[in-house]
Amino acid sequence: MAQIIVYGHRESIQRRRAALSDAIHAAVMTALDYPAEKRFHRFIALEPEDFLHPENRGSDYTIIEISMFEGRSDIAKRALITELFARIEAEVGIAAQSVEVTITETPRVNWGIRGVNAADLSLGYQVDV
């Protein structure tokens, strides 16, 4: 399971929402061997006064927070970050300088999904990649 929140300036998010979602999901599928139908993205579009950051990040500055079950290898997480930077720059047009990614992992027992504890849920895909 991976839940993704994307923060950015309102104008940049509105202009690029679909392309960002596609690039992020492709990176997750590639790096984590994630199923195509498991897309969980939320976009938080912020006004300039609500999104303070160093000027050199520019108006396309984008933060991507990924919350997922623990179990992925360091190699898989590094591959995910590399894929995100490459795809977002190539497919969305946001320079890597203007993108930041954080990954937070938690045990499956800390998640509730479809009415059950995730530790008791059959996922249909591997987490230990």
In DSSP terms, 106 is beta-bridged to 69
| Three-state DSSP string of 26-50 | HHHHHHHCCCCCCCCEEEEEECHHH
Beta bridge partners of 64: 6, 101
CATH of 6-54+63-114, one of 2.60.40.790, 3.40.50.10330, 1.20.1250.20, 3.30.429.10: 3.30.429.10
According to the 3-state scheme, what is the secondary structure of 47-90?
CHHHCCCCHHHCCCCEEEEEEEECCCCHHHHHHHHHHHHHHHHH
Domain extents in the chain: 6-54+63-114
pLDDT band at residue 90 under the 50/70/90 scheme: very high
Closest to 20 in 3D by CA, of 103, 105, 88, 109: 88
The sign of the dihedral angle between the CA atoms of 47, 53, 56, 62 is negative
Q: What is the pLDDT of residue 120?
A: 85
| 0.85 exceeded by pTM | yes
In tens, the pLDDT along 59-88 reads 999 999 999 999 999 999 999 999 999 999
pLDDT at 101 over 90: yes
Label the pairing between strands 41-46 and 2-9: parallel
Mind listing the pLDDT tens digit for each residue in 9-43?
999 999 999 999 999 999 999 999 999 999 999 99
SS3 of residue 103 by DSSP? strand
Rounded Cα gap, residues 116 and 122, in angstroms: 10
